[in-house]
């Protein structure tokens, strides 16, 4: 029975977590502070897994506890608990070695899966589970972002349902139709289905139906004989035949015109193809996985897509959620793309305060593809490896509610007799905005920091530097 230790200063949270984990068959212990947890570990009560809140009231916080654990007991996977206002800290925790984070309010099924994954990843270290410290000075390894099926990032409830579908669909050989907005990762899901199927050792052949006109698309799918049309100087094998024994992925299948749809339907029904210009059918063993960002039901109703073909490819439907409906996955995705860009550019990339919260507030019409491109853009433009808000594409800065709004008075302001540098001007505006937020929140600094999307420690430091607070007390009046 795996032993799980829970650290949280809220007794109700501890009770809920403990009950959920005990019902799954785990043994739990708990503490209300990091100091109490470390004292237990020092006494020999080292667990198999640690779950800790980031904010623990007085004393050490969750990040400090994490650091102590990964240095002294590196074999213990650590899951951190976070709320929206501390998402940035959760990503920081993953960089420090946390296995994963779970966002409040909890999805208990998601929590159980994260716990199971963490325990499965656990690597025993000699002496680590008898309360024996490892050698001082060992650097904790930074945990990699979890990849489902070696392809997909995300731990939200919506994606957990997708993962369940992928596993189930992999056992079947039926046609699959993946729907979702552009950029939601339909091809990655299709590749995951192929990888889970009995065809995983066979070829994976993708084709974008919208990229070719109908004559070329027909030749690309079914092949052609030499002399079948002008320019066909030699015979060509089609992608159906190239995918024999494997999977054929047809992206944007709704772009396929009616003329080729009937031939496609015949290939699905009879499992035979006929190349353009040929008179002999060739049997093929291919699983078709199709994807579209259009409504095929609507196209069918308008007579633009064959109804019989729709039913043939829509045997197993999978709908992917847009990124705006799974915002809790953004921190993991940002961390995944940050690591990718850091490796590609050969630099150590970091995020400035406020960037992650602002990204989570953007609507992401381009979904995951837009997020990946935004991080790539910021990585290329940033200075000294620190990604700031100004390094992101302008449309995201303007569209993200989490970013400080631009001052409406800038355009109308007249230059003073002694113009200041841009850095000093922006600093002055920052001070003004923080003062306005303090006034708006009635002096509640914690709430103001959350609204800004930065950590409270950073906000307090800025307040002291700018003279808005003296010795921890706010200046009055704040306006």
Per-residue pLDDT tens over the stretch 16-28: 888 888 888 899 9
Residue 412: the pLDDT is 39
Q: Are residues 317 and 328 in the same domain?
A: no
CA distances from 54 to 6, 13, 36, 308 (A): 12, 13, 15, 54
Overall average pLDDT of the 446-453 stretch = 71
Residue 122 is classified by DSSP as -
**Residue 81 belongs to what domain range?**
3-130
Other CB atoms within 10 A of residue 67 CB: 16
End-to-end CA distance of the chain: 58
Q: Is the pLDDT of residue 371 over 50?
A: yes
- Rounded-to-integer distance, Cα 196 and Cα 236, Å: 30
CA triple 302-308-314, angle to 5 deg: 95
Scanning the structure block, which residue is given the tokens 């706010």? 474
Residue 425: the pLDDT is 59
Residue 91 — pLDDT band, cuts 50, 70, 90? low
Q: Is the pLDDT of residue 39 over 70?
A: yes
Residue 166: the pLDDT is 93
Residue 109: the pLDDT is 80
Q: Which of the residue ranges 84-98, 163-177, 225-239, 359-373 would you say has the lowest mean pLDDT? A: 84-98
In a domain, 147, yes or no: no
CA distances from 394 to 188, 352, 362, 378 (A): 28, 17, 12, 11
Q: Which of the residue ranges 60-64, 301-305, 376-380 would you say has the lowest mean pLDDT? A: 60-64
Residue 367 sits in a domain whose CATH number is 1.10.8.60
Q: Are residues 393 and 426 in the same domain?
A: no
Name the domain boundary from 306, 321, 336.
321
In a domain, 143, yes or no: no
- Cα-flanking dihedrals φ and ψ of residue 249, to 5°? -100, 120
- Whether the Cβ atoms of residue 337 and residue 372 lie closer than 8 Å to each other: yes
Residue 133: the pLDDT is 29
Nearest Cα neighbor of 268 from 248, 254, 251, 252 is: 248
- Rounded-to-integer distance, Cα 344 and Cα 7, Å: 38
pLDDT, greater one: 453 or 56: 56
Residue 450 sits in a domain whose CATH number is 1.10.10
pLDDT, greater one: 108 or 48: 48
Residue 56 sits in a domain whose CATH number is 3.40.50.2300
In a domain, 226, yes or no: yes
Q: Are residues 312 and 163 in the same domain?
A: yes
Q: Are residues 380 and 451 in the same domain?
A: no
Overall average pLDDT of the 139-157 stretch = 73
- Rounded-to-integer distance, Cα 467 and Cα 471, Å: 10
Measured in whole angstroms, the distance separating CA 88 from the mean position of its chain's CA atoms is 14
- Rounded-to-integer distance, Cα 408 and Cα 444, Å: 25
Q: Which of the residue ranges 38-47, 345-354, 461-470 would you say has the lowest mean pLDDT? A: 461-470
62 three-state secondary structure: helix
Q: Is the pLDDT of residue 398 over 70?
A: no
Residue 359 — pLDDT band, cuts 50, 70, 90? confident
Name the domain boundary from 84, 115, 130.
130
E strand or H helix at 463 = helix 456-465
Structural domains of the chain, count: 4
Q: Strand ranges (DSSP E) for 219-271? A: 223-224, 236-237, 247-251
Q: Which of 75-89, 228-242, 269-283 has the highest mean pLDDT?
A: 269-283
In a domain, 150, yes or no: no
Scanning the structure block, which residue is given the tokens 């992401």? 364
- Rounded-to-integer distance, Cα 402 and Cα 300, Å: 41
240 three-state secondary structure: helix
Q: Strand ranges (DSSP E) for 64-212? A: 78-82, 100-103, 176-179, 204-208
Residue 142 — pLDDT band, cuts 50, 70, 90? very low
pTM for the model stands at 0.57
pLDDT tens figures, 167-187: 989 888 899 999 999 999 999
Q: Are residues 96 and 186 in the same domain?
A: no
- Rounded-to-integer distance, Cα 181 and Cα 436, Å: 39
Overall average pLDDT of the 150-154 stretch = 90
Q: Is the pLDDT of residue 88 over 70?
A: no
Q: What is the DSSP string of 316-384?
A: EEEEPPPGGG-GGGHHHHHHHHHHHHHHHHTS--EE-TTHHHHHHHS--TTHHHHHHHHHHHHHHH-BT
Q: Which of the residue ranges 120-124, 333-337, 401-405 would you say has the lowest mean pLDDT? A: 401-405
Q: Are residues 228 and 303 in the same domain?
A: yes
347 Cβ contact list (under 8 Å, min separation 6):
379, 385
Share of the chain above pLDDT 70, in %: 79
Residue 445: the pLDDT is 74
pLDDT, greater one: 93 or 365: 365
Structure tokens at 48: 């198999």
E strand or H helix at 110 = helix 108-121
Q: Are residues 100 and 172 in the same domain?
A: no
Q: Are residues 224 and 332 in the same domain?
A: no
In a domain, 139, yes or no: no
- Whether the Cβ atoms of residue 247 and residue 204 lie closer than 8 Å to each other: yes
């Amino acid at each position: 029975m795996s032993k799980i230790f829970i650290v949280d200063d809220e007794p109700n949270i501890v009770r809920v977590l403990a009950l959920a984990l005990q019902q799954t068959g785990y043994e739990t212990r708990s503490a209300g502070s990091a100091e109490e947890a470390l004292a237990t570990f020092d006494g020999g009560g080292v667990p198999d897994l640690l779950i800790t809140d980031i904010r623990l009231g007085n004393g050490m916080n969750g990040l400090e506890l994490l650091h102590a654990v990964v240095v002294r007991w590196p074999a213990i996977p650590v899951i951190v608990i976070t709320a929206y206002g501390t998402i940035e800290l959760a990503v920081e925790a993953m960089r420090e070695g946390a296995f994963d984070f779970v966002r409040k309010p909890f999805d208990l099924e998601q929590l159980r899966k994260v716990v199971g994954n963490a325990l499965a990843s656990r690597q025993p270290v000699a002496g680590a589970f008898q309360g024996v410290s490892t050698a001082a000075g060992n650097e904790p390894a930074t945990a990699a972002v979890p990849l489902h099926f070696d392809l997909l990032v995300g731990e939200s409830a919506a994606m957990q349902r997708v993962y369940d579908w992928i596993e189930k669909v992999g056992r079947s050989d039926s046609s699959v139709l993946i729907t979702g907005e552009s950029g939601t990762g339909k091809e990655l899901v299709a590749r995951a289905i192929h990888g889970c199927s009995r065809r995983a050792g066979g070829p994976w052949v993708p084709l974008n139906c919208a990229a070719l006109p109908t004559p070329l698309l027909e030749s690309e799918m079914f092949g052609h004989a030499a002399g079948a049309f002008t320019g066909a100087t030699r015979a060509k094998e089609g992608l159906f035949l190239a995918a024999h024994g494997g999977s054929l992925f047809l992206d944007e299948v709704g772009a396929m015109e009616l003329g080729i749809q009937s031939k496609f339907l015949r290939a699905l029904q009879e499992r035979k193809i006929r190349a353009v210009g040929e008179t002999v059918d060739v049997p093929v063993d291919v699983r078709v996985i199709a994807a579209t960002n259009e409504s095929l039901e609507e196209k069918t109703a308008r007579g633009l897509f064959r109804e019989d073909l729709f039913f043939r490819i829509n045997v197993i439907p999978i709908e992917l959620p847009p990124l705006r409906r799974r915002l809790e996955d953004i921190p993991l995705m940002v961390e995944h793309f940050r690591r990718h860009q850091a490796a590609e550019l050969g630099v150590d990339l970091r995020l400035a305060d406020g960037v992650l919260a602002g990204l989570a507030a953007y609507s992401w019409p381009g979904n995951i593809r837009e997020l990946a491109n935004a991080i790539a853009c910021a990585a290329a433009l940033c200075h000294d490896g620190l990604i700031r808000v100004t390094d992101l594409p302008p449309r995201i800065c303007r569209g993200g509610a989490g970013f400080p709004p631009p001052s409406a008075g800038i355009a109308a302001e007249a230059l003073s007799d002694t113009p200041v540098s841009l850095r000093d001007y922006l600093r002055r505006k920052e001070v003004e905005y923080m003062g306005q937020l303090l006034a708006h929140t009635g002096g509640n600094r914690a709430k103001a920091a959350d609204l800004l999307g930065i950590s409270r420690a950073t906000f307090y430091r800025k307040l002291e530097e700018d003279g808005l607070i003296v010795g921890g007390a706010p200046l009055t009046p704040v306006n």
